């Protein structure tokens, strides 16, 4: 099929496709999502087919605000209301108990819960409002590949498989939303993001983190808990410490193939890059690195022939938890060993 590109002032045309059961990618402040009418089971199933996504990997439901959530979820708890007031619209996804048969199993993965998100992107809020229904919104990429932060990334992966893409420029955050399970005894972060424990606890008290990968027979409550994610074609190696970069560049130079390097500007400036190294800047700090991570991983897929990507690691706390969560999954937990140089 033809994949049409829509500008932000063309959301009515994109919404018409959604109402007709078609798939349309939409922008958020984190990454681009793949939208379908969350109340149309046939349309939702097309999302799994277009992405090549396992059918037991539940989908996030993207909404315009609490009033839309209340049409499908059980009555909102005091904590849920407080979180929505504090962080919505924004990069926080909440897992809530559903009303009986409120959404199809194609959305929930067969669970009695669903994840709801109210993105901080006015174009997408306008799109949902025009469509008149909530949208499922997994990342708009081939399943397992780095998430898209540009409309061009979506087009690369899904051209001919979806009806349209609403292009609103680059995503501002660059890593997906924090997912918080409010159905647990203690609210639990299942996927770290820009909203951290330190942000959440002043609003609702104690918060736990549980980023484990679920077993083969388990149904994950949230995306990213079971299957391989964010992986480019080349093997990613995490460089844990700035003091390891001398060894990392020495190792890269010894290879008989091209190596990609993703690092902060100060690391790149401090080293003479071997001739077989292609550098991608992660910017000045952790914030810019989080914003550029997926774009960098995607850069080394279609645009170069590198067979390994050395990527800078950070401390696993705060925003670093979100960054390292994605980077570890992209690398398959493979860390560069400086003793091998």
* Annotated binding-site members for ATP: 53, 57, 113, 139, 147, 191, 230
Task: Please answer whether residues 282 and 236 qualify as being in contact, where contact means their C-beta atoms are separated by less than 8 angstroms.
Answer: no
Task: Annotate 133-168 with DSSP letters as a single string.
Answer: S-EE--BSSSTTSPPPSSHHHHHHHHTTTSSEEE--
* Cα–Cα distances in angstroms (integers) from residue 49 to residues 42, 144, 245, in the given order: 11, 14, 41
Structure-token match 């025009």, residue found: 130
How far is the C-alpha of 133 from the C-alpha of 196, rounded, in Å? Answer: 29
**Is the separation of the CB atoms in 255 and 276 below 8 Å?**
yes
Name all contacts of 194-200 with Cβ < 8 Å and 24+ positions apart.
Answer: 194/30, 194/91, 194/290, 194/319, 194/322, 195/87, 195/90, 195/91, 195/92, 196/318, 196/319, 196/321, 196/322, 198/318, 199/87, 200/83
Q: In this structure, how many other beta carbons lie within 10 angstroms of the beta carbon of residue 237? A: 21
Give SS3 for 84.
helix
Quickly tell me which residue has 């130079």 as its tokens.
253
Bridge partners, residue 95, by sequence: 115, 181
Rg (C-alpha) for the chain, rounded Å, is 20
Residue ranges for the known binding site for L-threonine are 30, 117, 177
The CA distance from 152 to 170, in Å, is 10
User: Residues marked as binding?
Assistant: 30, 53, 57, 113, 117, 139, 147, 177, 191, 230
Measured CA to CA, the distance from residue 176 to residue 174 in angstroms comes to 7
Q: How far apart are CA 288 and CA 12, in angstroms?
A: 33
């Amino acid at each position: 099929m033809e994949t049409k590109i829509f500008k932000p002032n063309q959301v009515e045309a994109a919404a018409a496709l959604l109402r007709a059961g078609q798939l349309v990618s939409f922008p958020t402040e984190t990454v681009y999502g793949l939208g379908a009418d969350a109340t149309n089971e046939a349309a939702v199933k097309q999302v799994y087919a277009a992405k090549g996504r396992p059918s037991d990997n539940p989908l996030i439901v993207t909404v315009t605000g609490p009033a839309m959530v209340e049409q499908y979820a059980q009555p909102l708890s005091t904590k849920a209301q407080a979180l929505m007031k504090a962080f919505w619209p924004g990069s926080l996804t909440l897992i809530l108990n559903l009303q009986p048969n409120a959404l199809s199993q194609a959305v929930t993965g067969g669970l009695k819960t669903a994840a709801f998100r109210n993105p901080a992107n006015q174009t997408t809020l306008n799109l949902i409002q025009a469509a008149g229904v909530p949208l499922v919104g997994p990342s708009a990429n081939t399943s397992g590949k780095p998430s898209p932060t540009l409309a061009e990334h979506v087009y690369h992966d899904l051209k001919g498989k979806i009806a349209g893409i609403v292009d609103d420029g680059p995503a501002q955050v660059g890593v997906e939303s924090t997912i918080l399970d409010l159905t647990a005894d203690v609210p639990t972060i299942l996927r770290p993001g820009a909203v951290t424990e330190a942000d959440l606890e002043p609003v609702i008290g104690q918060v736990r983190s549980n980023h484990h990968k679920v077993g083969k027979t388990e149904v994950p409550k949230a995306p990213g808990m079971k299957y391989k994610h964010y992986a480019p074609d080349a093997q990613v190696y995490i460089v844990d410490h700035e003091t390891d970069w001398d060894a990392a560049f020495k190792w890269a130079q010894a290879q008989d193939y091209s190596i990609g390097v993703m690092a902060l500007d100060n690391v790149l400036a401090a080293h003479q890059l071997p001739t077989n190294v292609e550098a991608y800047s992660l910017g000045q700090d952790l914030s810019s690195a989080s914003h550029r991570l997926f774009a960098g991983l995607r850069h080394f897929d279609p645009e170069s022939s590198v067979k390994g990507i050395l990527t800078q690691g950070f401390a696993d706390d705060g925003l670093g938890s979100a960054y390292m969560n994605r980077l570890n999954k992209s690398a398959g937990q493979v860390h560069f060993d400086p003793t091998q140089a």
